[in-house]
Structure 1
Amino acid sequence: MEWYLEVLKKYAVFAGRSRRKEYWMFCLFNLIVAVLLAIVEGAMNSPGVLGLLYSLFVLLPALAVTVRRLHDIDRSGWWIFISLIPVVGSIILLVFLVQDGQAGHNQYGANPKDLVA
């Protein structure tokens, strides 16, 4: 939960770097919330408004943490747009997102692993 809240605290911060753990824990928590909202909406027979509102709420933080994750592997945040290429683009972005961050300092800042003791 702390990783999720950390991303929300950096709501629209596109500068810096994010660890793999921060990114993937945020994704996991988003998945859990989305499933729970889908279950609640299915039980209430509602049209999906809660899920839509939640998606809009986390859109900007999700984009920001993805850009920071790309910065961690020393890639520009503009690489996020490669996902617009059907199938292949999403696979390439996934490969980027699972890579270990660049050791030491890069053009986007200090290694976040070094900052956590």
Structure 2
Amino acid sequence: MANVPPAPAASYTTSTGLPYAGTPSYDQMPPAAAPGYAPAQPGMPVGAPYGATAAEPPINMPWYGIDFVNAIKRFFIKYATFSGRASRGEFWWVMLFLFLVSFVFNMLTRASSFFNVLSAIWGLAILVPQIALAVRRVHDANLPGGWVALPYGIEVLGALVMTFSTISAVTSGLSGSSGGVGGGMAGILIGSLIMLAGAVTAIVLFAKQSDPQGARFDARQ
């Protein structure tokens, strides 16, 4: 029987058309053909494998797959930057950081009233960057920055209702009017529900998925 030459090994090419030299093992795709972690979006690194830390994009672009430490750094670097976009990671890592700092301040103020002053200063210091981050987050969802006023407006309305209801309840209690006290307590409950609605609205709004069309809010270079 004549010698039959062995069949050539299957060849693979990368997405750029260049040949792939390796031979894939059973049920395994060539590395160049493996799908990325997420679909490409403006400012999103392409081809980063699942679970890997994404490469840092330019400071004027959103960072998809950002970690906790870098999210905090960007929060302060982009202190008053209202243009551009922020990924969900950039936003929610910072929210976790601010919650932890607030929790620490609450613990410290029980030990000394001095920390009340520091807490107030801290609250003022993060007011502008927090609003700027919220604006960039809704930009990433392809929404105008004015949407940020929706959850904050609901929260303020609820706080006002609770404040006036509390004053009414206290005043009625001092004057001996049981009806006024009942009405004040009902107002406090309504105000609490309004504030809860504001919190839910904020979660839904700031958790919206990134939309590549949000690139229209990026600063023009």
Bin for the TM-score computed over the shorter chain: 0.7 to 0.9
User: Aligned match of 2:125 in 57, 78, 91?
Assistant: 57
Which residue number in structure 2 is paired with residue 22 of structure 1? Answer: 90
User: Aligned match of 2:104 in 25, 28, 36?
Assistant: 36
| Letter paired with 2:212 | A
| Letter paired with 1:93 | A
Q: Secondary structure at the match of 2:215?
A: coil
Q: CA RMSD in A?
A: 2.0
Contact 2:84 2:215 survives alignment (8 Å): no
Q: For residue 49 of structure 1, report the CA deviation from its aligned partner.
A: 1.2
Q: Write out the 4+ residue segments of structure 1 that deviate beyond 6 Å after TM superposition.
A: none
Distance 2:100 2:115 in 1: 19
Which residue number in structure 2 is paired with residue 4 of structure 1? Answer: 72
> Which stretch shows the higher mean deviation, 67-76 or 84-93?
84-93
**How far does the alpha carbon of each residue in 1:32-55 deviate from its partner, in whole angstroms, 9 at most, with x for none?**
111111211211244711111111
Which residue number in structure 2 is paired with residue 114 of structure 1? Answer: none
| Letter paired with 1:73 | A
Q: For residue 2 of structure 1, report the CA deviation from its aligned partner.
A: 2.3
TM-score, normalised on structure 2? 0.46
User: Aligned match of 1:78 in 131, 146, 161?
Assistant: 146
Q: Secondary structure at the match of 2:203?
A: helix
TM-score, normalised on structure 1? 0.83
Q: Structure 1: 5+ residue runs without aligned partners?
A: 110-117
Between the two proteins, what is the percent identity of the paired residues? 27
Question: Greater RCO between the two (CA within 8 Å, min separation 6)?
Answer: 1
Contact 2:85 2:139 survives alignment (8 Å): yes
Greater helix fraction, Structure 1 or Structure 2: 1
Contact 1:19 1:101 survives alignment (8 Å): yes
Which residue number in structure 1 is paired with residue 161 of structure 2? Answer: none
Q: Structure 2: 5+ residue runs without aligned partners?
A: 1-68, 159-193
Contact 2:88 2:207 survives alignment (8 Å): yes
Counting matched residue pairs gives 110
Larger radius of gyration: 2
